[in-house]
Structure 1
Amino acid sequence: MKAAVGDRIVTASGVVGGAVRDGVVTECPHGDGSPPYRVRWSDTGEETLVYPGGDTYVDAQVEAGSGAWAEARRGRALTWDVRITVVEAAGSTTAEATVMNGPPDALRGVGHARKSPDDDEVPLIGDEIAAGRALRRLADRLLAVAEADVSAAVGHKAHLHR
């Protein structure tokens, strides 16, 4: 991996469900562009010394007129926002999880939770259960869409392990 000052660096989380972080290389101590790099992270503004692993890539600054080949080699990073709307009424909670700016089709999942009549009123618990169920259904829907896309790309029925 090689980087230069001004390049964007993107690192996936080492934990399932963790955030993807990106930042800008502010210092490259080695003249050949090899690690480590000093990076200013976009989410916190903090600067840290980074020894990138296999979950990291460098999005190099591209000179004008460099062409599509150089663009394709840079990799890509996407941000999809998920909005969770929670509604509570009469001991029942419904949550809807919707992908706001992701795939072209509107993807959503709905989850429900109902309080037992014997349980104390703790709205946060119902919110968590309903939201978790909505997110699970949203994930299943996204995987179903991906499975259909893979099937179309390969020309036969495909199956994704879930």
Structure 2
Amino acid sequence: MRATVGDRIVVASGVVGGAVRDGVVVACEREDGSPPYRVRWSDTGEETLVFPGADTLVRHGDDDQVVEPTPARSVTWQVQLTLLEAAGSTTAEATLVAGPAEHGDVGAIRAVGHARKDPGDVEVPVIGDEVAAGRALRRLADALLGQAEQDISARTGHAAHVHP
């Protein structure tokens, strides 16, 4: 993406139904026109430094040509959480069902978390649910990051570490 002073920047909202913002490039930080850009937003008059993402368009001032970024990629992953509570103990199973990816299918990743109430505490099932679910989801996140490390290592041929 390249821009010059006077070009318009249009940024789509990151949420469904959110506002689209536009502004004018008032300064380019690099001589070659590559990002970042200083933009004056039309809705607030505020100037900010912009590092355009996949949701950003540049409208050139001289020919009204639109330069579009690489199309956004959209997939849906679902997490299913199953809870079983019995005799003051709760077990949660979190399963990530990942949609098909560009280079294969992530498939399903599963993790389990447990919670057990102290014998002297009053039984409040929702607390056991929260603790067991939180532990299962944390383990699921760790497993997903571990899978990403393996995938990066396989593609690059070097050991990878993804910071949580």
Asked if TM exceeds 0.5, the reply is: yes
Return the TM-score normalized by structure 1. 0.60
* 8 A contact 1:3–1:60 mirrored in 2: yes
Q: What residue in structure 1 maps to residue 29 of structure 2?
A: none
* 8 A contact 2:13–2:20 mirrored in 1: no
C-alpha separation between the residues in 2 aligned to 1:37 and 1:132?
43
Structure 1 residue 112 displacement after superposition: 0.8
Structure 1 residue 54 displacement after superposition: 6.2
Supply the AA of the counterpart residue of 2:91.
T
1:9 pairs with 4, 9, 13, which one? Answer: 13
* 8 A contact 1:110–1:137 mirrored in 2: yes
1:59 pairs with 38, 41, 55, which one? Answer: 55
C-alpha separation between the residues in 2 aligned to 1:27 and 1:55?
14
Counting strand residues as a fraction of each chain, which structure ranks higher? 2
TM-superposition CA deviations, 1:50-105 (whole Å, max 9, x none):
988768745258xxxxxxx9552x45465533222211112111111122345622
* Count of equivalent residues: 133
Counting helix residues as a fraction of each chain, which structure ranks higher? 1
Q: Summarize the Cα distance change of 1:144–1:53 in structure 2 as closer, same or farther, 3 Å threshold.
A: farther
* 8 A contact 1:9–1:57 mirrored in 2: no
Structure 1 residue 161 displacement after superposition: 3.5
2:144 pairs with 142, 145, 152, which one? Answer: 142
Supply the AA of the counterpart residue of 1:91.
G
* 8 A contact 1:86–1:95 mirrored in 2: yes
Structure 1 residue 154 displacement after superposition: 1.0
Runs of 4+ in 1 over 6 A off after TM superposition: 50-56
- Answer with 1 or 2: which has the greater Rg: 2
TM-superposition CA deviations, 1:115-147 (whole Å, max 9, x none):
122111011110011001101110111011001
Q: What residue in structure 2 maps to residue 133 of structure 1?
A: 135
* 8 A contact 2:56–2:68 mirrored in 1: no
C-alpha separation between the residues in 1 aligned to 2:50 and 2:145?
24
* 8 A contact 2:9–2:24 mirrored in 1: no
1:93 pairs with 87, 90, 93, which one? Answer: 90
Supply the AA of the counterpart residue of 2:148.
A
Supply the AA of the counterpart residue of 1:104.
V
The answer to whether structure 1 residue 158 and structure 2 residue 157 are counterparts is no
Supply the AA of the counterpart residue of 1:109.
A
Return the TM-score normalized by structure 2. 0.60
